[in-house]
């Protein structure tokens, strides 16, 4: 099967998958990915891929940086090895990645069912240990003073000794400058010295540690600092010993945690691997297919993933239900081999758990083995001809064929005498059929078309050829044997009709009848296909007109509601003004009048005020009900009756899908659209009549957000840009980050002079979208990268 993987270009898919992984362990898992030969494993892998796609579309790419391959490092600690400061910095970066991903696990129970989130949830952060390492290790070659009290004390004594030496040497520089080559304190062999002119060697007593190349300068350690320099050497030895002790302690701590660290490493690699599969699916606009182990293949608008998307022609192909062998005929460069490779490669991808570039409802089978003979390779070493080379491979395929085998044969029987080649091809197909294999074969032989017409469980297919343009259309037609276009093409190219007619007469009567039958069948199929396409176009046009009418009706209802709302609001304001006038009159009466008449007037005013207030409340209630019933608040047609399996639209997300479950006690339901399963409020659903797909609405906020989440990457590179250009680029990028819902981003500005870094930091300080920012730690990019946390 490994030879078939190469022939079907499976390694090229794995190579691209590997490029999309973010860490060495994740890339290693990608490189090791092979198709699974059992249905349960393949379905589990597909579920993980679908969950990765959902995660990426909903929340963007997880922060999978700072993850080194540390399994060998962890193993060394159990053997007693002492880790270096670089090793410990890599472990700290690894632990930060664990904590980052653990924080990304959502609280919502329905989201936590996502398998990638389940992997993240099993991570075991050790924030305390990571902080201890980060506090103790400054860089690959420097340990912080605070790594231990003993180290801090040693370095304090070192600083005092160095200060005493410098103080004495400063006096030498001030008072004996005329004897010196220059006023400079330097070091030789780890000891502080001054540069003395050779002719004044006697004026400054001390030990000569070095001389210049010219011999004119001597580097002298004055006698007064020799003892202190000796003490510094002793302190340096104590410092090395203490650093070694600290590193041993950290190494022992790593060894104690090895089981947890190894488990985290395995989980991080699995997360990176799953995310890479999701990123590949989004890049290829792929779907997770239905799987079976019964040999059924049904491709809907399938595309070969290695052909550019703007050039590939999608195909529809099915096999394994009414027939188990498919014979594909057609002209050279007409798409036969591409159809064969597309079927084989997509089958291997599906078995490996990868999404396939095809439309919804695509179904693929999990086979025990996939065997292929494709291409025109010769074995030069063994001096084999093209025919012999192919036949040698086919012999092995036939011997291994059994139920659960997919066999792909390109140009079966070619390279030898046509009559013998055709007979041999028919015998091979017949034997494969008896062995229970599922077979797709391409051929030029007319005899195989007749064999497919006459034999149960065998079907014809052809790659369409446009005789008007003399070009293949690359469309695959199932159930139609290929038509010989030699006479038509020759006529189009100008060959005399007399010659063409003479050629026709040379054909046998049976051959002419056979070709005429096939031509008639081909023409009928074309007419049916054109009629179906015309009907589909009319259906789409009618659906578009219906949608436009619905939009116009909704707009009219909205405008009517707005007018009614405005009228009610004006009436409310007028009543309110009248109520204020009456309140003022009643107050005036209360102040100015007394006696029974005044009391009667107040009672009358109070009665009028109560009546107006009642009328105002009814009007406000009407306004409230109208607002709730407006198109922005709902349909106003009462609660929608929800049926699991039916199609509904979620306008707020710009999605249409099938109802999976719900509503729950919070009024939430789940709808499945393509590879995504999303949770939405039941009150926000409307009935949909179209097939489940993403609703294409230009200007839709939901569509913009979904698009940003799909394409957004949590890293931007500003290297080589001027400060002004970089800040404009970063400002636009932060807009995309907010739309994509990113919690943090990496800004790569490089080290250089620091001007670009300062411009980036100046923008981040004043940007309301930014919660905080910091220079990256070791393993994250150091001072050449800034990590920004977003609000």
Q: What is the 3-state secondary structure (H, E, C) of 83-138?
A: CCHHHHHHHHHHHHHHHHHHHCCCCCHHHHCCHHHHHHHCCCCCHHHHHHHHHHEE
pLDDT of residue 383: 42
Which residue blocks in 298-413 are alpha helix, DSSP H?
336-352, 386-400
Instruction: Give the phi and the psi of residue 664 in degrees, each rounded to 5.
Output: -90, -170
The residues facing 604 across adjacent strands are none
Band the pLDDT of 495: cuts 50, 70, 90: confident
pLDDT of residue 741: 75
- 511-532 mean pLDDT: 60
- 221-233 mean pLDDT: 83
d(CA 119, CA 236): 47
**491 preceded by a cis bond (ω within 30 of 0):** no
Helices and strands in the chain: count of H runs, count of E runs: 23, 25
Band the pLDDT of 632: cuts 50, 70, 90: very low
User: Which of 16-30, 197-211, 401-415, 502-516 is predicted most confidently?
Assistant: 16-30
pLDDT of residue 117: 94
Band the pLDDT of 382: cuts 50, 70, 90: very low
Q: Is 302 helix (H, G, I), strand (E, B) or coil?
A: strand
Q: Is the pLDDT of residue 32 over 60?
A: yes
User: Which of 57-71, 157-171, 247-261 is predicted most confidently?
Assistant: 247-261
Q: Is 49 helix (H, G, I), strand (E, B) or coil?
A: helix
Report the range of poorest mean pLDDT among 175-184, 213-222, 483-492, 643-652.
Answer: 483-492
Q: Is the pLDDT of residue 263 over 50?
A: yes
pLDDT of residue 698: 37
Pick the closest to residue 320 from 192, 431, 190, 459 (CA basis).
Answer: 459
Band the pLDDT of 742: cuts 50, 70, 90: confident
Q: Is the pLDDT of residue 513 over 80?
A: no
pLDDT of residue 736: 79
Pick the closest to residue 317 from 527, 533, 477, 443 (CA basis).
Answer: 477
- 548-569 mean pLDDT: 73
H or E segment at 515? helix 509-592
pLDDT of residue 696: 37
pLDDT of residue 421: 83
pLDDT of residue 504: 62
Band the pLDDT of 628: cuts 50, 70, 90: very low
Band the pLDDT of 505: cuts 50, 70, 90: low
Residue 457, Cβ density class (10 Å: 0-12 exposed, 13-18 middle, ≥19 buried): exposed
pLDDT of residue 602: 60
% of residues, the chain, pLDDT over 90: 33
Output the pTM of the full model.
Answer: 0.67
Answer positive or negative: Cα dihedral of 21, 25, 30, 35.
negative
Strand pairing of 217-222 and 191-197? antiparallel
pLDDT of residue 565: 66
Higher pLDDT, 364 or 309: 364
Neighbour count for residue 770 (Cβ, 10 Å): 17
pLDDT of residue 709: 58
pLDDT of residue 617: 61
User: Which of 244-253, 540-549, 663-672, 759-768 is predicted most confidently?
Assistant: 244-253
Report the range of poorest mean pLDDT among 238-252, 393-407, 575-589, 639-653.
Answer: 575-589
Strand pairing of 647-650 and 655-661? antiparallel
pLDDT of residue 27: 94
Mean pLDDT over each residue of the chain, to the nearest integer? 80
pLDDT of residue 58: 84
Q: Is the pLDDT of residue 343 over 80?
A: yes
Band the pLDDT of 407: cuts 50, 70, 90: very high
- 67-82 mean pLDDT: 91
Q: Is the pLDDT of residue 25 over 50?
A: yes
pLDDT of residue 697: 35
Band the pLDDT of 483: cuts 50, 70, 90: low
Band the pLDDT of 333: cuts 50, 70, 90: low
Chain-centroid distance of CA 72 in Å reads 29
% of residues, the chain, pLDDT over 70: 76
pLDDT of residue 524: 60
pLDDT of residue 535: 78
Pick the closest to residue 48 from 29, 75, 67 (CA basis).
Answer: 29
Band the pLDDT of 119: cuts 50, 70, 90: very high
Q: Is 284 helix (H, G, I), strand (E, B) or coil?
A: coil
Pick the closest to residue 461 from 469, 470, 452, 473 (CA basis).
Answer: 452
Pick the closest to residue 350 from 301, 400, 401, 281 (CA basis).
Answer: 281
Length of the chain: 791
CB 4 within 8 A of CB 344: yes
Q: Is the pLDDT of residue 125 over 60?
A: yes
Neighbour count for residue 442 (Cβ, 10 Å): 26
- 326-336 mean pLDDT: 77
d(CA 258, CA 92): 14
Band the pLDDT of 312: cuts 50, 70, 90: confident
Strand order in the sheet with 668-673: 676-681, 668-673, 655-661, 647-650, 686-687
- 403-415 mean pLDDT: 88
Higher pLDDT, 557 or 119: 119
- 507-519 mean pLDDT: 56
Which two structure tokens, joined as six digits, stand for 570? 């004006």
pLDDT of residue 600: 67
- 353-360 mean pLDDT: 93
- 342-348 mean pLDDT: 95
**What single DSSP character describes residue 287?**
B
Report the range of poorest mean pLDDT among 37-51, 218-232, 419-433, 506-520.
Answer: 506-520
CB 441 within 8 A of CB 325: yes
Report the range of poorest mean pLDDT among 289-298, 458-467, 768-777.
Answer: 458-467
User: Which of 141-155, 546-560, 641-655, 686-700 is predicted most confidently?
Assistant: 141-155
Band the pLDDT of 574: cuts 50, 70, 90: low
788: left (phi over 0), alpha (psi -120 to 50) or beta: beta
pLDDT of residue 657: 78
pLDDT of residue 378: 40
pLDDT of residue 70: 92
């Amino acid at each position: 099967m490994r030879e078939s993987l190469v022939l079907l270009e499976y390694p090229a898919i794995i190579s691209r998958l590997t490029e999309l992984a973010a860490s060495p362990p994740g890339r290693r898992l990608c490189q090791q990915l092979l198709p699974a030969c059992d249905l349960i494993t393949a379905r589990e892998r597909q579920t993980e891929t679908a969950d990765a796609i959902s995660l990426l579309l909903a929340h963007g790419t997880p922060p999978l940086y700072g993850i080194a391959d540390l399994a060998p490092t962890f193993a060394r600690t159990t053997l007693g090895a002492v880790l270096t400061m670089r090793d410990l910095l890599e472990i700290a970066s690894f632990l930060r990645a664990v904590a980052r991903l653990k924080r990304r696990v959502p609280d919502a129970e329905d989201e936590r069912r996502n398998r990638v989130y389940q992997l993240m949830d099993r991570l075991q952060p050790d924030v305390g240990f990571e902080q201890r390492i980060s506090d103790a290790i400054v860089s690959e070659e420097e340990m912080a003073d605070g790594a231990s009290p003993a180290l801090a004390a040693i370095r304090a004594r070192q600083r005092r000794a160095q200060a005493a030496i410098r103080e004495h040497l400063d006096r030498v520089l001030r008072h004996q400058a005329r004897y010196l080559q220059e006023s400079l304190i330097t070091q030789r062999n780890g000891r502080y010295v001054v540069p003395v002119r050779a002719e004044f060697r006697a004026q400054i007593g001390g030990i000569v540690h070095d001389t210049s190349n010219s011999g004119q300068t001597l580097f002298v350690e004055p006698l007064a600092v020799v003892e202190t320099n000796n003490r510094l050497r002793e302190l340096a030895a104590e410092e090395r010993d203490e650093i070694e002790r600290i590193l041993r302690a950290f190494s022992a701590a790593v060894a104690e945690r090895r089981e947890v660290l190894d488990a985290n490493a395995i989980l991080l690699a699995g997360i990176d691997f799953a995310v890479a599969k999701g990123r590949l699916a989004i890049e290829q606009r792929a779907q997770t297919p239905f799987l079976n182990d019964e040999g059924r293949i049904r491709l809907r608008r399938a595309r070969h993933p290695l052909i550019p998307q703007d050039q590939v022609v999608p195909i529809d192909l099915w096999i394994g239900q009414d027939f188990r062998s498919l014979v594909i005929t057609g002209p050279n460069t007409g798409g036969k081999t591409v159809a064969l490779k597309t079927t084989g490669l997509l089958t291997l991808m599906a078995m490996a758990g990868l999404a396939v570039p095809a439309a919804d409802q695509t179904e693929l089978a999990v086979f025990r083995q996939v065997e292929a003979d494709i291409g025109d390779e010769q074995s030069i070493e063994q001096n084999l001809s093209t025919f012999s080379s192919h036949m040698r491979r086919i012999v092995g395929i036939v011997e291994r064929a059994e139920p659960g085998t997919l066999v792909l044969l390109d140009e079966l029987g070619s390279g030898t005498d046509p009559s013998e080649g055709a007979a041999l091809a028919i015998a091979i197909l017949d034997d494969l059929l008896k062995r229970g294999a599922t077979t797709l074969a391409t051929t030029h032989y007319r005899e195989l078309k007749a064999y497919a017409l006459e034999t149960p469980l065998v079907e014809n297919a052809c790659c369409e050829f446009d005789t008007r343009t003399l070009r293949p259309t690359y469309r695959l037609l199932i159930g139609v044997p290929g038509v010989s276009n030699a006479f038509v093409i020759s006529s189009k190219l100008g060959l005399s009709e007399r010659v063409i007619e003479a050629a026709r007469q040379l054909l046998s009567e049976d051959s002419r009848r056979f070709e005429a039958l096939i031509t008639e069948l081909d023409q009928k199929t074309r007419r049916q296909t054109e009629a179906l396409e015309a009907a589909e176009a009319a259906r789409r046009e009618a659906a578009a007109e219906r949608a436009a009418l619905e939009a116009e009706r909704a707009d009219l209802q909205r405008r009517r509601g707005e007018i009614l709302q405005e009228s009610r609001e004006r009436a409310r304001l007028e009543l309110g003004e009248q109520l204020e006038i009456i309140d003022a009159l009643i107050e005036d009466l209360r102040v100015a009048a007394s006696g029974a008449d005044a009391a009667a007037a107040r009672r009358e005013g109070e009665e009028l005020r109560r009546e107006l207030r009642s009328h105002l409340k009814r009007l406000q209630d009407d306004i409230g009900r109208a607002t709730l019933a407006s198109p922005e608040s709902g349909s106003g047609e009462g609660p929608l009756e929800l049926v699991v399996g039916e199609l509904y639209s979620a306008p707020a997300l710009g999605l249409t899908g099938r109802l999976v479950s719900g509503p729950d006690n919070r009024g939430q339901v789940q709808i499945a659209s393509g590879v995504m399963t999303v949770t939405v409020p039941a009150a926000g659903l409307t009935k949909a009549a179209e097939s489940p797909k993403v609703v294409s609405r230009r200007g839709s906020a939901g569509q913009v957000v979904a698009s940003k989440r799909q394409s957004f990457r949590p890293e931007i590179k500003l290297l080589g840009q001027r400060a002004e250009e970089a800040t404009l680029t970063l400002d636009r990028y932060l807009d995309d980050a907010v739309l994509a819902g990113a919690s943090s981003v990496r800004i790569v500005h490089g080290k250089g002079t620091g001007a670009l870094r300062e411009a980036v930091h100046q923008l981040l300080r004043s940007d309301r979208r930014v919660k905080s920012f910091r220079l990256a730690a070791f393993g994250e990019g150091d001072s050449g990268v800034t990590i920004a946390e977003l609000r």
